[in-house]
Copies of this chain bind each other. A is one copy, B any other.
């Protein structure tokens, strides 16, 4: 019984299998695809990966990802500095920004509190957030951590730290996704949506 795969194929399959959401089957299909597609496209993907971590750093102010010391939002003087949207990850910043609905600024925690995984307040950018708030000018903080146990815990922890400060603190609304079918929504969301129902 022999593994006939060339070393390069084995190495790549091993790397791909370690990625989240990619099992042995998908990894095999991907390798097969990458072996037959135009080599230029494989080189393009390799270069994009190699460049990713070199070209991108954390914004010095909001900790989102950026190619410059300050991200496009933090360096834009027209943004509303009185409103701060606190999120777990840079990807959430990009998603919110793509809606075009928010003109305030962001603060990225770079994670969520997770005692189980050994993530404490000092591992997140909470101290920097408190400094930003205490620097003045911030009137409202929207704690948009994920509606998970760890996300809720993180929001609660930050809200407690800000108890003495003169800022309004809020969480985004929970409910049925727009365009979503009630039957397709998970039980917890459905229960929340019913409890938080609004009179028409």
Q: Is A194 an interface residue (CB 8 A)?
A: no
CB atoms of A49 and B56 under 8 A apart? no
Q: Which residues of B contact A176 (CB under 8 A)?
A: none
Cα A90 to Cα B26 in complex, Å, equals 16
CB atoms of A19 and B46 under 8 A apart? no
Shortest Cβ distance from residue A25 to the other chain B in the assembled complex, whole angstroms:
9
CB atoms of A2 and B52 under 8 A apart? no
CB atoms of A52 and B20 under 8 A apart? no
State how many residues of chain A have any CB contact under 8 Å with chain B: 61
Shortest Cβ distance from residue A42 to the other chain B in the assembled complex, whole angstroms:
6
CB atoms of A100 and B2 under 8 A apart? yes
Cα A18 to Cα B98 in complex, Å, equals 21
Q: Which residue of B lies closest to A43 (CB)?
A: B50
CB atoms of A19 and B6 under 8 A apart? no
Q: Is A139 an interface residue (CB 8 A)?
A: no
Q: Is A114 an interface residue (CB 8 A)?
A: no
User: Which residues of A does B touch, CB under 8 Å?
Assistant: 1-9, 11-12, 14-16, 18-22, 26, 28-35, 39, 41-56, 64-67, 71-73, 89-91, 93-94, 97-100
